[in-house]
Amino acid sequence: MGAAREIVFRGDREHYVWRFGAGPTRVLLIGHVDTVWPLGTLERWPFAVEGDRATGPGCFDMKAGLIQAIHAVSLLPDRDGVALLVTSDEELGSPTSREWIEEQAAGARAAFVMEASAAGALKTERKGVSIYQVTALGRAAHAGLEPEKGVNAAVELAHQTLAVLDLADPGAGTTVTATIVHGGTTNNTVPSSAVLDVDVRAATVAEQKRVDRAFRRLQPVLHGATLEVVGGPNRPPLEAAMSGDLFDRAAKLTKQLGLPEPRAVAVGGGSDGNFTAAVGVPTLDGLGAVGDHAHAEGEYVLVSAMPERAALLAAVVRDVLDEDDRS
> What gap in Å lies between CA 133 and CA 199, rounded to an integer?
9
Q: Biggest alpha carbon distance in the chain?
A: 82
Pairing verdict, β 122-126 and 264-267: parallel
Query: In this structure, are residues 30 and 114 in contact, taking their beta carbons and an 8 Å threshold?
Result: yes
Beta-bridged to residue 6, according to DSSP, are 17
CB 190 within 8 A of CB 151: yes
One digit per residue, the tens of pLDDT, for the chain of length 327 reads 889 999 999 999 999 999 999 889 999 999 999 999 999 999 999 999 999 999 999 999 999 999 999 999 999 999 999 999 999 999 998 999 999 999 999 999 999 999 999 889 999 999 999 999 999 999 999 999 999 999 999 999 999 999 999 999 999 999 999 999 999 999 999 999 999 999 999 999 999 999 999 999 999 999 999 999 999 998 999 999 999 999 999 999 999 999 999 999 999 888 999 999 999 999 999 999 999 999 999 999 999 999 999 999 999 999 999 999 988
pTM assigned to the model: 0.86
The residues near 43 (Cβ < 8 Å, ≥ 6 apart) are none
Q: E strands, 184-272, where? A: 193-202, 226-235, 264-267
Distance CA(298)–CA(311), nearest Å, equals: 27
3-class SS string, 77-104:
CCCCCEEEEEECCHHHCCCCCHHHHHHH
Angle at the Cα of 93 from the Cα atoms of 87 and 96, rounded to 5 degrees: 55
Q: SS3 for 188?
A: coil
Give the CA distances from residue 308 to residues 165, 230, 260, in Å, rounded to whole numbers and listed in that order. 43, 45, 10
Q: Which domains are assigned to the chain? A: 5-126+237-326 (3.40.630.10), 128-235 (3.30.70.360)
CA–CA separation, 115 and 101 (whole Å)? 15
